[in-house]
Amino acid sequence: MARVKLTNLKVAKTPVPSPKRKQKELWDTEVPGFGLRIGHGGRRTFMVMVRVNGVQRRYTIATYPEMSLKDAREEARKLRADARQGIDPKEREAEKRRAAQRQRQNTFAVIARDFIEDHAKKSAPRSWGEMNRKITKDLLPPWGDRPIRSITRQDVKELIRTKARKSPVAANRLLSLVKSIFYWAMDEEFLDTSPAVRIKPENETERERVLNDKEITAVWSAFDQLGYPFGPLFKLLLVTGQRRGEVAAMSWNEIEGNEWRLPGSRAKSGSGHLIPLSPLALQILEELPRVGKHVFSSDRASEKSNGKETDKPVNGFAMAKRRCDKGGQVTGWHLHDLRRTVATNMRELGVDRLTVSKVLNHAESGITKVYDRYAADPEKRRALERWARRLEAIVQPERAGEVVNLR
């Protein structure tokens, strides 16, 4: 066994052994057990001999010049130190590979998928779809391929800060979702701490936008230009005052005569809701095509998959809203402002606050919580019909008072 002090020159220039001889091995005098093996083809490999629990073993460190002599010596020292403690270097490397594999598997995308499947679908059956949409749109592009442990507090703050430049409200909803995902990951032992802990929400200014009569006329005309499905959908938002997602997913079997029964499984409040349909609402529904079970069906409504209809509620509100705003007659408004416009006008028409709350299906507490939300409440009907007459007078006075029955 040749023992020499290995130098950069010896490592690089020692001649290759002839094919008739065995591989050449040079053992270092500076680090015991550390050496260089030179193959017949010129391959130069650093190695180390150690004794683990009384058994002598040889381990390959790396090839030269992929690893320098200095770094190979340092690695040999670490392996010898491990061996003295009874740690098998091969087992250590195997554990490093397993840890790396776990890191690759525990990307944010994988954890977020498990969060939806194992947690959100069970704990939030009505809102997990919106969570999944936000994950896909806002979180997977910057974080999807990254190990979840690599995401830092600064990453979270920058993401929320960027979102807040356009919408502080949307930024806060996104922050809430991010915190939920990271806290769930902690509970499942994918993380020790959450990078989103104690990040404060953005300041929100409560919206108070209510469309005036001139703006109502302008947007109603824009709804006419949109056509099916978004034009009549947006009209029903303004006629009924109900939530966007609840109207968009309306099905024909929920409509009975001049009433719409919104099941608790679809209502944001979690409580079933009966919405009296005014003549104007019935007129809008009467003019709609029936292309599936949903009143407002997506373009996939007429398609079939394995003999089954693939009818789905419409989506793509943002694009439809941009098309609606293209003319620029009304600016700075949101779809939710239609709901606020209904409530404000009802109050101006003399409808009491509790009835307005019933119409909007707000979550109630105390004594107001006991009323039957499916009841045919005459006060709700009077309020909605009074508002419908007022709305007709604004947008189509020539047809005010017509009554249309839904077939």
What's the whole-model pTM score?
Answer: 0.54
Residue 363: predicted pLDDT: 65
Q: Which secondary structure element, helix H or strand E, spans residue 172, and what is its range?
A: helix 168-187
Where along the chain do its domains lie? 2-99, 108-187, 213-399
Tell me: the pLDDT tens digits for 128-142? Answer: 988 999 999 999 999
Tell me: the pLDDT tens digits for 151-181? Answer: 999 999 999 999 998 888 889 999 999 999 9
Tell me: the pLDDT tens digits for 252-297? Answer: 999 999 999 999 888 876 778 899 999 999 999 999 998 889 999 8
Q: How far apart are CA 379 and CA 243, in angstroms?
A: 20
Domain 213-399 belongs to what topology? hpI Integrase; Chain A (1.10.443)
Q: Write down the CATH number for the domain with range 108-187.
A: 1.10.150
Whole-angstrom CA distances from 17 to 24, 36, 41, 63, 128 are 6, 13, 9, 17, 67
What are 103's two structure tokens? 């890191």
The CATH number of 2-99, from 3.30.1280.10, 3.30.160.390, 3.40.50.300, 3.30.1330.40, is 3.30.160.390
